[in-house]
């Protein structure tokens, strides 16, 4: 058998003009960066391939050293991008090239929920006529709003429409058949069988490979090393070799953002619980503590980025680390979800699910509760996490947020009531000493990533947890049902929100234990 191991340059030379290219990645996690770099270099040298459409169920690359999609963010090379998320980072960092292309209308860019993008790959592989789903109705995904379009170029070429089916309203996404899939694993044998023993997640590489193969396409796999044929355990092979055409070796590939390799992320060792840092005392910890009070022992919970990522550390500190099973969209189940650059991974995981299967679980609402952050909330209870017009790259887009919230039984949103307010935490209460620059409680969110009205129609249990109060959606808008001691309801909630939040007559006090510098005594 002819060797499948080739240089990155040889692999990308097989990608034709106008190809649809599917990339398996989650920011730095599982990113086939060497292949993407070679693709960008080939275009610089030859002017080809041109006018590519790329599919990214989760972001490819980050802003901290793994360029990913930025390698191919070039005029003429990239014509259309359909992604669940995009590289994001701090405002102090330069805007990524892909974001410049989007805001300057130089590429048609779409933000499609990650689960729907995985559904697209499965449906096109099975020759079904596109994705039919109710995920995203009444949000920016809906063509009655933005229809996933991120700029004018995308608006001019819609990819989703509303349809009537079986007496109900659905969203229908057209098929995008991959001509090429680029994925990443740890080890390939000489026949192209792939194992993932150093990876922090399987992501969707198998589904993406099948989608390309079933459409007579090309599959390129980047790996850390190559071993002899027949030396891999069949149970360990996640992508079989008959689906793989080219193997590109990068012995220096990073496991995830700013992490060359941590065996606990890939489940090869188990860290003692004492190794994990607890949440630092401050306002965010106070919010995370209140969110954690919504948990019960034995539950399965989903976790999003931001303040909510601290909730597992609250449970750790309070002696409940194993009482809840966490499930995150990249695929880890159980263990200790990581924070910061390593978010999306977990140490000491019980299992790793392929992301497409994890999203099937999420879309159907099989878990008990989800903890998610917010950028802004409006008086209808709508939430925006997916768009910031002034600094677009501060948010990655929707990712799995829309899939997760579509049928979740219970949703706990967490965030600051105002931006950059002067807050004083004491054992007696939380005091606002200086008003914030602006309220996160707005008249109308810039992007509807979550529809408060649809949630009420569906009977979902929704809370909004901030440092000042806990809110719910009432008949006339947001209502504060719990008030933090020290907070002046009229000044710090009603006036600070411009009257968009009212205070319930029977509002109760949030427990002072949330403000303790010691353990709060959480019972779940």
What positions carry a catalytic annotation?
329
Q: Return phi, psi of residue 220, to 5°.
A: -110, 125
Number of Cβ atoms within 10 Å of the Cβ of 122: 17
Rounded CA separation 246/12 (Å): 9
Q: Residue 432's beta-bridge partner residues?
A: 423
Measured in degrees and rounded to the nearest 5, phi and psi for residue 502 equal -100, 170
- What is the length of the chain? 524
φ, ψ (nearest 5 deg) of residue 480:
-80, 120
- Nearest CA to 171 out of 385, 330, 402 is that of 402
CB atoms within 10 A of CB 503: 16
Contact 483, 493 (CB under 8 A): yes
188 and 29 in contact (C-beta within 8 Å)?
A: no
Tokens coding 413: 């949103």
Compute the distance between CA of residue 147 and CA of residue 158 in angstroms, rounded to an integer.
7
Residue 145 CA to residue 168 CA, distance in Å, equals 19
* Residue pointed to by tokens 């959606």: 473
Helix, strand, or coil here: 513? helix
Q: Which two tokens stand for residue 284?
A: 């965010």
3 state DSSP class of 26: strand
Separation in Å, CA 351 to CA 265, 267, 336: 11, 8, 12
CA gyration radius for the chain? 23
């Amino acid at each position: 058998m002819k060797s499948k191991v080739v240089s990155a340059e040889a692999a990308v030379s097989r990608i034709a003009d106008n190809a649809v290219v599917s990339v398996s990645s989650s920011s730095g996690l599982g990113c086939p960066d060497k292949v993407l770099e070679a693709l960008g270099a080939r275009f610089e040298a030859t002017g080809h391939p041109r006018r590519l459409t790329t599919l990214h169920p989760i972001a490819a690359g980050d802003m901290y050293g793994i360029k990913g999609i930025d390698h191919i963010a070039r005029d003429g090379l990239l014509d259309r991008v359909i992604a669940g998320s995009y590289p994001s980072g701090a405002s102090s960092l330069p805007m990524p090239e892909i974001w410049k292309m989007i805001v300057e209308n130089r590429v048609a860019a779409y933000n499609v929920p990650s689960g729907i993008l995985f559904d697209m790959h499965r449906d096109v592989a099975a020759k079904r006529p596109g994705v039919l789903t109710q995920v995203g109705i009444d949000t920016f995904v809906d063509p009655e709003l933005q229809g996933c379009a991120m700029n004018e170029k995308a608006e001019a070429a819609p990819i989703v429409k509303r349809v009537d089916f079986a007496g109900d309203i659905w969203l229908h996404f057209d098929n995008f058949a991959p001509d090429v899939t680029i994925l990443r694993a740890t080890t390939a044998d000489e026949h192209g069988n792939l194992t993932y023993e150093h990876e922090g997640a399987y992501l969707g590489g198998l589904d993406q490979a099948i989608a390309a193969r079933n459409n007579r396409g090309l599959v390129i796999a980047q790996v850390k090393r190559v071993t002899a044929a027949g030396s891999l355990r069949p149970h360990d092979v996640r992508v079989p070799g008959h689906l793989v055409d080219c193997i590109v070796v990068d012995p220096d590939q990073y496991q995830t953002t700013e992490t060359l390799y941590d065996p606990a992320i890939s489940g090869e060792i188990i860290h003692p619980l004492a190794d994990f840092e607890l949440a630092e005392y401050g306002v965010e910890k106070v919010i995370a503590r209140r969110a954690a009070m919504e948990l019960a022992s034995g539950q399965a919970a989903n976790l999003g980025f931001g303040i909510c990522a601290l909730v597992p550390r609250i449970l750790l500190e309070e002696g409940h680390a194993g009482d809840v099973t966490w499930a995150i969209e990249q695929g880890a189940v159980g263990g200790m979800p990581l924070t910061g650059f390593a978010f999306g991974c977990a140490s000491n995981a019980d299992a790793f699910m392929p992301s497409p299967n994890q999203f099937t679980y999420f879309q159907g609402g099989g878990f008990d509760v989800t903890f998610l952050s917010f950028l802004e909330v409006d008086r209808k209870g709508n939430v925006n996490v997916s768009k910031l017009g002034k600094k677009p790259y501060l948010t990655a887009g929707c990712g799995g947020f829309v899939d997760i919230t579509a049928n979740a039984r219970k949703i706990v949103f967490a965030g600051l009531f105002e931006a950059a307010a002067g807050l004083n935490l004491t054992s007696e209460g939380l005091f606002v000493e200086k008003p914030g620059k602006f309220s996160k409680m707005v008249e109308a969110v810039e992007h509807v990533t979550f529809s408060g009205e649809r949630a009420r129609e569906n009977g979902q249990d929704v809370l909004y947890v901030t440092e000042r109060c806990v809110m719910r959606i009432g008949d006339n808008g947001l209502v504060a049902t719990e008030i933090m001691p020290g907070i002046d309801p009229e000044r710090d909630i009603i006036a600070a929100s411009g009257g968009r939040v009212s205070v319930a007559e029977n509002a109760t006090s949030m427990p002072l234990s949330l403000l303790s510098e010691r353990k709060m005594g959480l019972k779940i």
